[in-house]
């Protein structure tokens, strides 16, 4: 009887322990089942976002319309010439080479002054003293020193450019054999006086182009929403138009023809479409 009472008292405890164990197993299985489900939802959401970012495109255009360029040109006679020249001397003594260049440069300044060239429009662009060597059988020998004085100046008498070159290169009062002509460049001193007419014609040219494009496309041309211009700062000159020749007469003379310069003005314009 005592033994039966002992088993009866122990049975609820055993049943309670078995019940707790089953709950823990069920909870554990439930958690394991929930983890993959949540992870799958998360992964699917990330994949959806990734696919969405790859397949969606935002297209924007802030300048929809017709964009064209217009230009206008005019051919004019040059009224300014910039001449770049050099005086050069070589001597065994550097001091004598410097002195020879200095004397020749003073002759240059006298000629320019006699032709009414302003002093503030005469500028030294380069002055060099360099030793000269002769190379033979892998050895070098000093043969002297070369001194060069480069000068540029502006001249406005277009008809007498050749005469000025003659004064510098020939005759007893010239620079003579020390003279080097580097460059003669013809230009326009005041191109701004052509700007208004060139600007108007360039804009009209751009409008005509835009209107033609609109007609061809079957649309109506709207108002301009963008305009930019390029002022005429550069001039083009066909190489054949510039001639410098030495005439073999008893009294030699240099003939220089500047030809005509082309000034071009450009604009860029954008038009809306109605």
Same domain, 126 and 99: yes
Kindly state the tokens that stand for 193. 């006086």
Q: Is residue 169 in some structural domain?
A: yes
Domain count of the fold of the chain: 2
What is the C-alpha separation between 267 and 174, in angstroms, rounded? 48
pLDDT of residue 51: 37
Q: Is residue 44 in some structural domain?
A: no
CATH number at residue 255: 3.30.110.170
Same domain, 248 and 264: yes
Same domain, 175 and 116: yes
Q: Is residue 222 in some structural domain?
A: yes
Same domain, 151 and 198: no
Q: Tell me the DSSP string of 117-174.
A: --GGGEEEEEEEEEEEEEEETTEEEEEEEEEEEEEEEEE--GGGHHHHHHHHHSSTTS
Same domain, 216 and 242: yes
Same domain, 201 and 269: yes
pLDDT of residue 53: 37
Q: Is residue 1 in some structural domain?
A: no
Kindly state the tokens that stand for 26. 């069920």
Same domain, 90 and 155: yes
pLDDT of residue 4: 43
Same domain, 91 and 169: yes
pLDDT of residue 250: 38
What is the C-alpha separation between 263 and 274, in angstroms, rounded? 35
Domain final residue, candidates 154, 170, 187: 187
Q: Is residue 156 in some structural domain?
A: yes
pLDDT tens-digit profile, the chain (274 residues): 444 444 444 545 544 444 555 554 455 444 444 444 333 333 344 433 433 333 333 333 445 799 999 999 999 999 999 999 999 999 999 999 999 999 999 999 999 999 999 999 999 999 999 999 999 888 999 999 999 999 999 999 999 999 999 999 998 889 999 999 999 999 988 888 899 999 999 999 999 999 999 999 999 999 999 999 987 655 555 443 444 444 333 345 677 777 788 899 999 999 999 8
Range of the domain at 182: 81-187
CATH number at residue 128: 3.30.70.2970
Q: Is residue 7 in some structural domain?
A: no
Q: Is residue 236 in some structural domain?
A: yes
Q: Is residue 160 in some structural domain?
A: yes
Same domain, 106 and 235: no
Same domain, 100 and 228: no
Residue with tokens 């620079």: 175
Domain final residue, candidates 158, 187, 216: 187
Domain final residue, candidates 187, 218, 241: 187
Same domain, 199 and 70: yes
What is the C-alpha separation between 83 and 80, in angstroms, rounded? 10
Same domain, 229 and 164: no
């Amino acid at each position: 009887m005592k033994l039966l009472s002992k088993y009866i008292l122990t049975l609820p405890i055993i049943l309670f322990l078995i019940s707790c164990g089953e709950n823990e197993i069920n909870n554990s299985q439930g958690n394991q089942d929930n983890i993959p489900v949540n992870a799958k939802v998360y992964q699917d959401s990330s994949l959806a976002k990734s696919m969405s970012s790859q397949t969606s495109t935002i297209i924007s255009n802030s300048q929809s319309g017709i964009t064209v360029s217009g230009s206008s040109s005019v051919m004019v006679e040059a009224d300014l010439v910039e001449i770049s020249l050099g005086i050069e001397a070589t001597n065994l003594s550097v001091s004598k080479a410097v002195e020879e260049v200095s004397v020749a440069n003073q002759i240059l300044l006298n000629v320019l002054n006699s032709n009414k060239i302003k002093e503030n429009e005469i500028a030294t662009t380069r002055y060099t003293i360099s030793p000269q060597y002769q190379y033979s059988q892998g050895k070098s020998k000093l043969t002297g020193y070369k001194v060069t004085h480069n000068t540029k100046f502006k001249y406005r008498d277009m008809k007498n450019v050749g005469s000025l070159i003659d004064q510098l290169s020939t005759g007893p009062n010239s620079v003579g054999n020390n003279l080097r002509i580097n460059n003669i460049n013809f230009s326009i001193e005041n191109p701004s006086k052509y700007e208004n007419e060139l600007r108007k014609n360039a804009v009209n040219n751009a409008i005509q182009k835009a209107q033609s494009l609109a007609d061809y496309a079957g649309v109506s041309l709207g108002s301009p929403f963008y305009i930019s211009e390029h002022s005429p700062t550069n001039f083009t000159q066909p190489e054949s138009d510039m001639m410098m020749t030495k005439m073999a007469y008893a009294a030699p003379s240099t003939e220089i023809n500047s030809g005509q310069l082309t000034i071009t003005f450009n604009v860029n314009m954008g038009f809306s479409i109605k």
